[in-house]
Amino acid sequence: MLKIINGGIETLVEDWPGRLGYLGKGMSASGAFDNVGLGLANVLVGNPSGEAGLEITGGFLEAEFDGDHVIAMGGSDMQPTINGQPVPLWESIKVGAGVVIKFLHIGPTGFRCYLAVAGGVDVPAYLGSKSTCIFGSYGGFQGRALVEGDEVLFGEPSADLAALAGRKLKEGAVPQLTNELVLRAIPGPNTCPDYVTEEGMDLLFERVSKIQHTSNRSAYRLEELPDSFFARADGGVGGSHPSNIIDHAYAIRGALNICGNTPILLIADGPTLGGYMCALNVINADLWKVGQGAPGRDFMRFELSNQDEAIAARKEQKELLSEASLA
């Protein structure tokens, strides 16, 4: 068990791939925003890579263990300490009763740190997933962020704790975080010639945009696009703005929604359907990078990709998030 002393800015229970199959019921998949950070931490402690862990956004989580556990951390380096002593990310560590773990603020790169515990976080799965949808207040730990006094339970580890502790990652397996996220993306479903001009699409793939401070687990907002982006004067029956369209499902997670002139990347808890066009999709294997983008600080750029590359990247990521990555 882990008793929360300070929940920090926002600490959520998340798993991967999240709650699949309910888009038509208005429920997005949610899930770990950086599934690579969570996945590698899980692998280190002997869990399936998609097992539920804690997603610590922004930092300042402080909590006390009440028994023996093996833990690992991945993602953004929030300079975690155990009983005041610095501990590294990306390796499994044994902790005992009374151990206090504390996270500071985000470092120069990244925005979310993941804490995996051998056996995984034990919360009831809701509609097939332990992930929290913070926007809809369901799933995870009572549908909300952790607060002081909460007691988080864990499942059964896959092996003896002694065997799970002290594991490290192979060289090259640790993901590199940057302040300019390069996201491979596939155009569609609404592009040129009918919705967007070719120049507009060129611009979308050329420019570097700051992640707006209004971004959250539902939507990452980017800088506005010029009117010349659009290949039409209005949205017809869909609405007066050229970004309007008759309501359609969004290819979430990863769709770039054009909402008025503002491009919004729909992720984790975002809306599943609506009346705005979507010009591209970030490939599934690059979604994790978005979760490490700090609103108001980091930048985003799209790189033209295609199905073959995206599928190869999925396979690579699957391999990465396995015991093959252990040293």
- The binding site for another protein (CB under 8 A) comprises 20-27, 127, 136, 138, 186-194, 196, 198, 201, 235-238, 245-251, 254-255, 271-274, 278, 280-284, 304, 307, 310-311, 314-315, 318
| Comparison of 85 and 307: residue with beta carbon closer to another protein | 307
Q: How far is the CB of 136 from another protein (least distance, A)?
A: 5
| Comparison of 246 and 327: residue with beta carbon closer to another protein | 246
Q: Are 207 and 180 in contact (CB under 8 A)?
A: no
What is the pairing mode between strands 299-304 and 180-187? parallel
Tokens of 240: 């007066």
Tokens of 296: 């108001």
Number of other residues whose CB lies within 10 A of the CB of residue 319: 10
| Comparison of 144 and 248: residue with beta carbon closer to another protein | 248
| Comparison of 311 and 327: residue with beta carbon closer to another protein | 311
Residue of 278, 133, 295 whose CA lies nearest to 210 = 295
Phi, psi of 118 (to 5 degrees): -55, 125
| Comparison of 62 and 309: residue with beta carbon closer to another protein | 309
Q: How far is the CB of 12 from another protein (least distance, A)?
A: 17
Cα(143)–Cα(159) distance, integer angstroms: 30
Q: Are 66 and 12 in contact (CB under 8 A)?
A: no
Q: How far is the CB of 86 from another protein (least distance, A)?
A: 39
Q: How far is the CB of 92 from another protein (least distance, A)?
A: 28
Residue of 293, 46, 269, 289 whose CA lies nearest to 140 = 269
Q: How far is the CB of 47 from another protein (least distance, A)?
A: 21
